[in-house]
Amino acid sequence: MNPVVILEVHLDTGTARLRRLPEARAALGGSGLAATLFSQYARPTEAWDHPDQPIIFAIGPLTGYFPLMSKTVCAFVSPRHGGYAESHAGGRSALALRFAGLDALVLVGRAPRPSVVHVGAHHVSVQDAGYLWGMDALSCAKLIRRQISGSGHRSIWRIGVAGERRSPMACINVDTFRHFGRLGCGAALGAKNIKAVAVTGEEHQTLPTGKGYAALYADIFRDLTDTEMMHKYHNLGTPENLEPLDALQALPWRNLQATSKPEAIGSMSGQHFADTALLRNAACAGCPVGCVHIGFVREKFLPQDNRYLYRQVSYDYEPIFALGTMLDLRAPTEVLALLDDVEKAGLDAMSAGVALAWATEAMERGIITEAHTGLRLAFGATHVYREAITRMAEARQEFWAHLAQGADAAAQVYGGADFACVLGQEMAGYATGETFFVSQALGLRHSHLDTGAYSYDQANPPQDTAAAVRFLVGDEAERVLLTSMVACLFARKVYSRERLAQCLTAIGMGDLASDLAATARILQARRWQQRLAFGFNPTAIPIPRRFTEVVTWRGPVDAHYLAELQKAYAQAIKALAAEVPA
């Protein structure tokens, strides 16, 4: 079996070394490989921004062989919690690494000056790029595209000003429209003085011969394109969820002060976005689904004349919730304008929106004033939020520097922790109930994608901590398998465990396919070991009072059940980590 190929780049010296690790194959790739490499490189006793802390980008064994094996897993030490973190992104990132002949790219050290890392199948360089420092993420990509040839085979990952300022909300913008979004990986790159990473995939990949592989590929392709399984993602996309969640009283509005606004949802629905703002669909490389919905913002650039420019901006359910309903906006064009601003600043849209929602309520309550912010924040005030995004990204003034550290961090300074909608990091857009709140608060990535808890709540199960924990642990294991294969999680119905085993067998890795359930459990445990090694204590994660004030279609959230579930899930996490030797 081919070994895993890892390129280790030492940013301080500009040198690199290739490693081939046969034993790393057992980790599959993606999440499993990232956690395995993290255990080798990371320093649990050092701070998140210590130069020795690694940033790891890993793809999976099926990348390039099957559709939607399109993600790259970025593992790093998070500035938000100082421990193991993962963020996943698509675009061309995974295929570029595959065609550069790499399974993983590991960055260690700190470049002495702002730099760009360029990696290809036959070259590595760390180039001075002081002229890019301070530049917004869109302009930066434009310049790099001009300098590095290979359109279509090249993937460009870069940070905006938020990453340079090391905000825990800073993301890494990937190609056009994709992101390593959460937990501050943009800050981790900024702390290494790296403005951008460009990967050029200029090699080719030999596909298996024979009918078996071709027939399996055709089956999968058919499921992805000719069945109902993926139709939602292509049609309205994830914004389709806005209306049903509002109807369930599970859509956060106005900093989660409300969970439904029947009078307003019509102007923020997926259909309304499509009717008024949708330009086209786009897709990650190698994906026939095309779930990426692209809208536009239009700006007058000559005030005295009718001269406009427009930019294309992608939208999804989560950014619409965070920069739309959480801020009580009422028009797609306004949400897209804010999305364009966070894109340029290199801020994670979800964290930025939720932090601004906290700041707005804090101002309404008089906890902060205009003297702190320099701005009159008010729900629905798009033009004020546009200025606020710039100030937050630049950490301009004391207040914005605090808020750039997170809504909970700002609340520690000014008060208002009860209504900071933070569950490990700023919340995702599901006020579905206790299981989701516990899942995000304790989940390894503090992500709505760690488990399907939002669906579990919507099935309205009886209160049963043991059953809920069984679901969380079991569902996470299935997802770890998928993210270790770097499958897009939207394709989870297509890529069942059995089918993943068939895929591995079809490319000659049948020995990895023999007991994927056991493999998933081992990889799940390994990730938790990394999280716990840096001092993570799941029982100590606060779930602010605002979450216990939520009323959904099932009635008020039960604070007692929430606390019991948190306790039980925390125990399960510790037990999971102890299942395999460290």
Query: Which residues in this chain contact ligand SF4 in the complex, by CB under 6 A?
Result: 68, 70, 90, 233, 283-284, 287, 289-292, 488, 490
Q: What is the DSSP letter of 347?
A: B
Phi, psi of 478 (to 5 degrees): -65, -40
In SS3 terms, 266-279 reads as: HHHCHHHHHHHHCC
Residue 160: CA count within 13 A, CB half-sphere? 31
* Closest CB 171 distance from ligand SF4, rounded Å: 16
* Closest CB 65 distance from ligand SF4, rounded Å: 15
The three-class DSSP label of residue 228 is helix
Tokens, residue 285: 């490389």
Give the whole-angstrom CA distance, residue 221 versus residue 71: 17
Q: Which residue has the tokens 């037990």?
A: 575
* Closest CB 37 distance from ligand SF4, rounded Å: 24
Q: Which is nearer to ligand SF4, 485 or 543 (CB)?
A: 485
3-state percent breakdown (helix, strand, coil) of the chain, nearest 5: 45, 15, 40
Q: Which is nearer to ligand SF4, 223 or 394 (CB)?
A: 223
* Closest CB 71 distance from ligand SF4, rounded Å: 7
* Closest CB 163 distance from ligand SF4, rounded Å: 22
DSSP conformation letters of 368-411: S-HHHHSS---TT-HHHHHHHHHHHHHT-HHHHHHHTT-HHHHH
Q: Which is nearer to ligand SF4, 471 or 495 (CB)?
A: 495
* Closest CB 580 distance from ligand SF4, rounded Å: 30
Q: How many CB atoms lie within 10 A of CB 204?
A: 10
In SS3 terms, 242-259 reads as: HHHHHHCCCCCECCCCEC
Calculate Rg over the CA atoms of the chain. Answer: 22
Q: Which is nearer to ligand SF4, 469 or 494 (CB)?
A: 494
Q: Which is nearer to ligand SF4, 92 or 165 (CB)?
A: 92
Q: Which is nearer to ligand SF4, 421 or 481 (CB)?
A: 481
Give the whole-angstrom CA distance, residue 486 versus residue 31: 8
* Closest CB 87 distance from ligand SF4, rounded Å: 14
Give the whole-angstrom CA distance, residue 465 versus residue 486: 31
* Closest CB 67 distance from ligand SF4, rounded Å: 8
Q: Which is nearer to ligand SF4, 168 or 239 (CB)?
A: 239
Q: Which is nearer to ligand SF4, 56 or 292 (CB)?
A: 292
Give the whole-angstrom CA distance, residue 193 versus residue 501: 41
